[in-house]
Amino acid sequence: MGSELARAVQRGEAGPARIIGLFDEYVPGRSALAKELGLNQEPAPAEVDSVSELIALPGLDLVVECASQAAVIAHAEAVLSAGKSMLVMSSGALISPGFMQTVLAAAEASGASIYVPSGAVGGIDALRASKALLEEVTIVSTKRPIALSGAPGFAEWENVEITGPTVIFEGSATEAVGLFPANVNVAATVSMAGIGPDATKVRIVADPDSPGNVHEIYAVSRAGKFSLRFENMPHETNPKTSFLAVLAAIETLRSICEPGLRIGT
């Protein structure tokens, strides 16, 4: 996803944003992307060996995380404390006990901001607007088994033939993000917009015939009820990620970097 976002920025899809530097622990991939971007940008983005080197680059205002929950937990406080704003894709990290308070304190002290894209769903604005009146929020995520493979919560199903819709997990968003760290960041985002990670209910379904990565949100509030369904095509370079999640991240970047009209934010 990081590569896709970098290419989108270079194509001008994020307004006047410019890529200052790149960091990835996988050096061959990092070097290949830096070389590719350098063909169309002068000066070429700097290729650095650590997050500390990245945030020290002159002219850097925003760090975009496309790595993992572990990377957010390891580096977000340092990034924000350095006064650099941060766009967080692995939003599940933010609902770790006490971590949200830590990063918010760092951001407040330095004046930096934390941005979380809506990801593979919509309706985040409705959840935020009715937050004080919400009584119940459930998100059901249905994916093909291959998209869940490798997750700790899928371990007992790895060698099981799944022939139809099968409930793999039911519980809170807090529990889900630890068991499916690469799959349900959307549940974390929904929970932060709404009634919180402990109260938000999550159901994960494996279905070999799923039309894509399907997310359904059901909410009950004193202002009314709403339900939303999203049938997302998996991104061609990463079946664990919905195409819409990439598009949402690009739009978030554009809204940060380009002044003008804001709708639903």
Task: List active site positions.
Answer: 215
DSSP for 121-145 reads ---HHHHHHTGGGEEEEEEEEEE-H
* Largest Cα–Cα separation, the chain: 55
Separation between Cα atoms, residue 249 and residue 39, nearest integer Å: 24
Separation between Cα atoms, residue 1 and residue 17, nearest integer Å: 17
- Helices and strands (H, E) in the chain, number of each type: 10, 12
Percentages helix, strand, coil for the chain, rounded to the nearest 5? Answer: 40, 25, 35
C-beta of residue 90 within 8 angstroms of C-beta of residue 99: no
